Amino acid sequence: MTLRQVALYSLILVIAGAGWGMTQPLTKIAVSTGHGPFGLIFWQMLIGAVAMAALLALRGRPLPLHRAALRVYLVIALIGTLLPNSAGYTAIAHLPSGFMSVLLSLVPLYAFPIALLLGLERFAPRRLAGLLIGLAGVALLVLPEASLPDRAALIWVPVALVSGLCYACEGNIVARWGTAGLGPSQVLCGASALGAVLILPVALATGQFISPLAGFGVPERALVVAALIHVAVYAAYVWLVAHAGPVFAVQVSYLVTGFGVLWAMLMLGETYAPYFWAAMALVLAGVFLVQPRRQRVLAPDPAIKQT
The answer to whether 262 and 21 have CB atoms below 8 angstroms apart is yes
What is the amino acid identity at position 218? Answer: V
- Could you please report the per-residue DSSP string of 88-148? HHHHHTTS-HHHHHHHHTTHHHHHHHHHHHHTSS---HHHHHHHHHHHHHHHHHHSSTTTS
CB-facing half-sphere around the CA of 95: CA atoms within 13 A: 27
Per-residue pLDDT of the chain (307 residues), as tens digits, is: 678 888 888 898 899 889 989 989 999 998 887 788 899 999 989 998 998 999 899 989 999 999 999 999 999 999 988 999 999 999 998 899 999 999 888 888 888 888 888 888 888 888 889 889 988 998 888 887 767 777 778 899 999 999 889 988 888 888 888 888 888 889 889 999 999 999 999 999 999 998 877 778 888 889 889 888 888 887 787 778 777 776 677 777 788 889 999 999 999 999 888 889 999 999 999 888 887 654 444 344 443 444 3
Record the pTM.
Answer: 0.83
What is the amino acid identity at position 235? Answer: A
d(CA 232, CA 235) in angstroms, rounded, equals: 5
The whole-number pLDDT of residue 287 equals: 85
Measuring CA to CA, which residue among 287, 189, 165 is closest to residue 238?
Answer: 189
What percentage of the chain carries pLDDT values higher than 90? 35
- Could you please report the per-residue DSSP string of 30-54? HTTT---HHHHHHHHHHHHHHHHHH
The answer to whether 256 and 114 have CB atoms below 8 angstroms apart is no
Measuring CA to CA, which residue among 169, 159, 161, 156 is closest to residue 80?
Answer: 169
The answer to whether 229 and 23 have CB atoms below 8 angstroms apart is yes
The whole-number pLDDT of residue 306 equals: 41
The answer to whether 48 and 244 have CB atoms below 8 angstroms apart is no
pLDDT 10s digits, 2-53:
788 888 888 988 998 899 899 899 999 988 877 888 999 999 899 989 989 9
